[in-house]
Structure 1
């Protein structure tokens, strides 16, 4: 039959008897029922096609693995600390002997200790066959042999299956570590899920082709390496400027001598431990292969050498050879990157090196607010990247609508991808007029001057139909969902995935803008579809209404966040920040446009609102349900407008008669000499129901500024 159809069988390896069963319940029967075949065209296009008959396990049929591509040459694998080793009782002794080996010189550097420990671990792994994949195969073979042995007892088979289960658990741990999935902690056996994600990540990150200098497509490995090397050499290579001292002469000194002493003071063991244990234990390691988990688990062995290494660097400014080496990992920015600029380089540093930087960061936190400009949102506690987005969204409408903006001002968005690594600048003075605008665009690489790009990942132009503008959020979510192999996850795994990943995807945008209800509905629909489908992106049967699924657990739901309500909560948080930090840059910008002589909590009639302020204002009603003015001196709190009466929700005071003095402050009700409430004034102006509530409020004996507090938390934040 196969010959008549022109089909040719693939070459195969393994036991070709693919089925095993019992005849009459006693006689074992084995035969070949399964094979892989292809026609002549197939074999011409895929000449390396072959088949492997897998071992019997869990079924009477052998799985058949068809391999149609020639396997690429494999590079030697670099050492990486394996989490699976922690379950072995011998590991601590092996690490202790390797780290404190007598073969090390008396003043061995941290890198020499690491190298000695790596050699000891590698030798121990080879001698003891510490490889769960090999062990799984051996145990599967043993189980298969026991099933084929008529004399095998039930106890022997059960014991072998128990060993196999333990080995599979170790294999799951291995693939979880490689998949970089940190949101799924425990639950069902998810080895296939982690393995699928690892393969998917490798396929997505694998660079198969790039555009060369002349626009030709380069696919061979040597050509790809040459392009990448040339790209990074161009970025990092210095131009050897000769006037650095002259340029720095105008830069003011901001680090004082006391600051410098605190930054360079000897490091304590506690500081190093704090920095180390703040790292994620399973993040990708640097070139030495040691993860943060290694140092955390064996802190008692490595702490002295780590402390010595950090202090030696701070006093002498010298690092051991190899300490600051990094692996550059290229993460694609687009689905199909074609040149090096479409990859985001990430430096994978050695953990020992990151300890130095983290210790310095901990110390710098205390002085950074005075060093970094208020226009920079990064590195300083309390500042958020959303501040820059909101300020930009206020600037663009002004440039378009105000006469001064149209005629006298311009905005330039520059590509700062090289700025942190190439701090060599040449400044050219040019008059900004119509004759030079195109020249400047050519020099700076500006693609357009119409504001249709993105800024910090957000569309620059928010005008127009909002549903069309934010439709990309659903596409992004669906792309993420369809990229996952959801069929490998249980309902519990899906629940964790949705709560920790899917619902977090639109958070960045929702922190600044109010999404249209249609977009919220589309996002909720996509999440519900993923929840009910057993094989995304195919649609599953929805066994319950979506509204019930999104209810809190105590009300019978799963506890997924309601998209619209979550959006309002995030915007209310921005309004809270404006009220709590009135002197921040973003608060000053918004106050100058919308509530110059008022408060962000009050409704003010202003023309030409930006979508940022419209979005934030939509959350005002929600915030007023829990916010309250906390009285200290009362000078800034308006008695009849601000929410300061301690109720849920807080509200302004109720007048006993029509308001005669609309601008009265709470301080007007306080006896400033005695620092207590003036009962006569309270009875004269305030409703009797409010008087006991007001008298229950403590008054500050100093001239502290009034603040805001949150009614629903004990600490008021």
Structure 2
């Protein structure tokens, strides 16, 4: 059932020409039909138009001055426009110039008020060029006005088209978005930005879990899904509820999900969000990442104070103070509230780089890169509390005045090297794991094994999924990941093979992470790659025994490991 034009008007929808319509079959025929039809209905100028014309003709009419008066005013000015230049300027515009100007416009630039972009006119010029040139030349050459154009009639004709025989025109809310961001945010921020969650769901739902390995899921989540909200998070602080719901979608995708059925989540998402050097997978925590992006924008405001955005923000919100000391103020926009909320994070990370020392306070400012707090904690001594760094330096050359430094600071702070990078603690075991030249599926398995997130009988009993926790092969000990892969008799037979780099090692340790740390310390990278692949094969052998009642001989297992590594490294 067709809606009335009054009902559509109340909704506030506006027409927008879509570039994809140019590729529709029969586009040219439909365009020609409606264009020719629209030219037959030339509406006369209405009373309102006449009233405006009469009013402004009087407003801008002046008494014509005499030639002598004009010459006396312009006499002191030198001539800049020659006769030939003046002749060119007074020439009438031509159809070729109109067409050339049109072709110079980017085809996908923002459309005009009528909804039609430059691509529409460029692609359809053979049909509408004569009429549009005539209308444009009337305006440019002073023979007509914009009100007389038939563009409005043409828009109405296209807007009313229905069914597959039309252009498939769609409408959108007026002033709803600008550059892909919401132009207005209502009382509910969640409802404003919930479209981001819908896009995340579409990406996750379209990927079939059965076709993706854990390594493939990791790439999809990091490259595709996590990139979706980035653009919005650079400008706005997204609601925590929305961030948590996107987290939940990612977790369900990672661990596998079906309709009305949830798989076991063996590891918390917060642990998986740690960096790979700390035992996680490096997935982003959206709320923290949102704060980091906004803090980066604040840093850009501090770094480039002459940019347009910086000038506008300063004039409106912190005209008389530095941004770091700004208050949130009254009648603040969502953008400013978002930026202001990230300033604490920026303050924590800012560190002065010592130059001439004129602006850095000795006590209170962060300038010591090798201290945990980055600032001097010793009591004020020898100088006043607001003393600057320049008072610790030799006047010329910018070097430290050792005597003043030792008299002012305690021994520990005085002996610090001022220059240097902040030291970082790195867990060598995790770093080595991710640098192994083995298939990603092997790395992912070893990561799960080291954080104990594999479905061993011990873990299944904890979650009340099974009753017995004994290892299905030996049936004598509880099945932990350390027992299954390292110190069970069946695993020892594998590790005691001649080709094994850990043949002489004892198998009494139950914690697999401790075993891996010892291997990292004592084995070469090639040996570690071999051992990591063997660990995964032992687990697959266990699964094959449980589900198919087949047990692989250790010699065959070693041969499979060698073959798979050779195949991977030659690929």
**TM-score normalised by length of structure 2:** 0.42
Pick the structure with more strand per residue.
1
Pick the structure with more helix per residue.
2
> Quick check: which has more Rg, 1 or 2?
2
Of structures 1 and 2, the one scoring higher in RCO (CA 8 A, sep 6+) is: 2
**TM-score normalised by length of structure 1:** 0.34
